[in-house]
């Protein structure tokens, strides 16, 4: 009980510290100022930075659990993101419109993009602005492991593992191990061969 009270008091201190920034970005409603503070807090070092980041996102993301941890250099680019309980996010990750389930662990250098079609071209081939793009929510289920430097552009099912450096461009079924670029399911999480019925078309 004393430990729980102490932890609550610590979180209270950091929530108070992050409160002015949360107010200045309209608690996530004003994306320009949200982006400023998100990248600024990403540079806060050590465990104090971890507490400060999670306190800020608790007040600005669509959903964020105080039991999660976000390490140095990592930030969310969109306030519509949702972060479950006991999620670990390593250093130097960039996260877009992500929904991350409970107990998922994300290694360093991972990018979770807001879908695959953010920068379309005009009829003349000119790249259009991001406001013309199709931002999509990318969901990573609970109890997943996303390896270092992976790029995730499509959903990852619950209990799945994505290998380091993999590029997820198509949905990964639950309880799968996927590796490569593009990521392909090589086995189920329990070591069995993948079920053909569970694989996305083309795998």
Query: Which residues are catalytically annotated?
Result: 117
CA atoms of 48 and 13, how far apart (whole Å):
11
């Amino acid at each position: 009980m004393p430990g729980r009270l102490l932890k609550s008091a610590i979180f209270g201190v950091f929530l108070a510290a992050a409160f002015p920034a949360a107010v200045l970005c309209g608690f996530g409603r004003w994306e320009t100022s949200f982006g400023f503070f998100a990248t600024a807090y990403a540079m806060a070092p050590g465990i104090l930075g971890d507490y400060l980041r999670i306190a800020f996102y608790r007040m600005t993301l669509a959903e964020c659990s105080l039991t999660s941890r976000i390490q140095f250099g990592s930030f969310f680019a969109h306030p519509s993101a949702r972060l479950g309980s006991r999620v670990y996010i390593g250093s130097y990750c960039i996260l877009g419109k992500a929904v991350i389930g409970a107990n998922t662990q994300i290694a360093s250098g991972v990018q979770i993009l807001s879908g695959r079609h953010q920068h379309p071209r005009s009829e003349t081939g000119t790249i259009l602005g991001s406001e013309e793009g199709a931002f999509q929510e990318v969901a990573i289920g609970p109890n997943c492991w996303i390896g270092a430097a992976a790029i995730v552009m499509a959903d990852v099912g619950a209990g799945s593992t994505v290998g380091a450096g993999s590029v997820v461009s198509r949905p990964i079924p639950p309880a799968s191990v996927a590796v490569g670029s593009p990521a392909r399911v090589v086995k189920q999480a329990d070591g069995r061969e993948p079920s053909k019925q569970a694989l996305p078309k083309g795998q």
